[in-house]
Amino acid sequence: MSLDSIRKVRAQTVESLMMELSQIAQALTHSEEQYRTMEVQIQAETETYAQQAGQGLTIEDLLQWQGKMDAQRSTLRQVRASIDHATGLWQQTQERLVEARRECKLLERIVDQRQAAMHAVSARREQWAEDETASRLIPIRDRGDS
């Protein structure tokens, strides 16, 4: 595979990882908003439960409240797990992106070094050709002066 092809693949990888990070960030933001909304809802439900419990509840009502609150807490734990997973995934993807960018920079330096080397070789060839031409002209001048 040519160096140019490798550079293109690395650039595509960087772009792909950036898009992946964007998607993860959106999902993370959504989950965090959902978590905050659920916390507020659970707090409101807890307050309502406390008020009704203060007024007296039947066993059926108590069991219904407990089931509802258990379900809400379970859902909240699931959303928290989703946030934790997305956070870990974001960190891993960010690390991969940093590495891919580092590789792109390295490839750019290699390309620059190769171009500099090619220019140096070309300059040496030109200088050699000029020197060769000059060395041929000097003997002709020397013969013409005598």
Interval 54-59 mean pLDDT: 89
**What percent of the chain has a predicted confidence (pLDDT) above 70?**
95
Report the candidate in 77, 87, 75, 78 with the shortest Cα–Cα distance to residue 29: 87
Interval 1-6 mean pLDDT: 84
> CA torsion angle for 39, 45, 48, 52 (degrees, to 10)?
-140
Q: What is the pLDDT of residue 141?
A: 58
Q: pLDDT band at residue 144, thresholds of 50, 70 and 90? A: low
User: What domains, with CATH codes, occur in the chain?
Assistant: 3-109 (1.10.287)
pLDDT digits (tens, 9 = 90+) for 61-110: 999 999 999 999 999 999 999 999 999 999 999 999 999 999 999 999 99
Compute the chain's Rg from CA coordinates.
36
Q: pLDDT band at residue 3, thresholds of 50, 70 and 90? A: confident
